[in-house]
Amino acid sequence: MNIQGKTVVLTGATGGIGNAIARSLATAGARLILAGRDKMQLDRLITTLPVAGAPHIALTADLSERAGRQALVAACAGCASGIDVLINNAGLSDFCFLEATDPAMISAMLNINLLVPLLLGVELLPLLKQKDRAVIINIGSIFGGIGYPGFSVYCASKFGLRGFSEALQREFAGSGIEVLYLAPRATKTPINSSRVVEMNRTLGNSMDDPQRVADVICQRISADRWGSCAIGWPERFFLWLNGAFPGLVSLALRRQLPAIKKFATAEPVSIHTMKFRGDDL
């Protein structure tokens, strides 16, 4: 797909990955409908993006609320050219063991990471189907294929998003609507707390710049390569290994468990007293 002149809906636009995706797609000539919850950051972002044709649109909305999604659908329906691509990028994460997780945080992660992409798929599908070709891109995670201690709820949401994407791709086979599930490894964005960064440094886990994720998205779009794509080595190998020989991965992670416990949240944290580490905030 030639992205030039296409209209792209991007959620989580002001986060680290979202910001990089927006800049890359705008530079390639796309028109963007950007959704996020921080109006100041959205306005700042949109004023710095190159414009090739019709102006970009910034929408301040909480997509976990029905009213926020309705506002996004209305903005998309108001585009005379329609919409060509939906990128579900908004995400939320927390690093702690299940017993220390606030139930409200569990609901929020499952809502933003999984339920919102499902609902937007339903609500924007009529507009996407108006095009001969359209694309849905779901930003997942390596943890959507490997269960990792301290990220049980996050893993549950991304495992679900991966299954949703796979089923959707098969459901739309031959219809003109393509689906891409992209699974980055750890990235240098605010979604990863300082404890996660320090744990990754201790364990020797690589962290990518958000621009790498944006570059892969642009490459997959231009090459018409859909389906599922994981970023990073040896992470892609461990995804395969976890599917074929999960016991070996469990053994490796058991050896890492003392270090993981050192950095995971030891005490319950209220959702009302912590700042969400989301890629849309």
pLDDT tens per residue across span 201-259: 999 988 999 999 999 999 999 999 999 999 999 999 999 999 999 999 999 999 999 99
Domain of residue 207 covers 7-278
1 inside domain: no
Q: What per-residue confidence (pLDDT) applies to 31?
A: 97
Q: Which amino acid is residue 190, in one-letter code?
A: P
Q: Is the pLDDT of residue 272 over 70?
A: no
Structurally, the chain folds into a number of domains equal to 1
Q: Which of 154, 172, 238, 263 is catalytic?
A: 154
| Residue type, position 63, single letter | L
pLDDT at 190: 85
| 99 neighbors 21 (Cβ within 8 angstroms) | no
> What are the pLDDT digits (tens) for 170-193?
999 999 999 999 999 999 988 888
Residue 63: name the closest of 6, 143, 124, 17 by CA. 124
Active site residue 148: no
Task: Name the maximum alpha-carbon separation found in the chain.
Answer: 56
Instruction: For residue 278, name the pLDDT band (cuts at 50, 70, 90).
Output: very low
- Whether residue 2 lies inside any domain: the answer is no
Alpha-helix runs per DSSP H in 31-115: 39-46, 66-77, 103-110
Nearest of 252, 262, 98, 278 to residue 196 by alpha carbon: 262
Name the residue type at position 148.
Answer: Y
Total-model pTM = 0.93
Contacts of 251 (CB under 8 A, 6+ apart): none
> Residue 271's domain is classified under what CATH number?
3.40.50.720
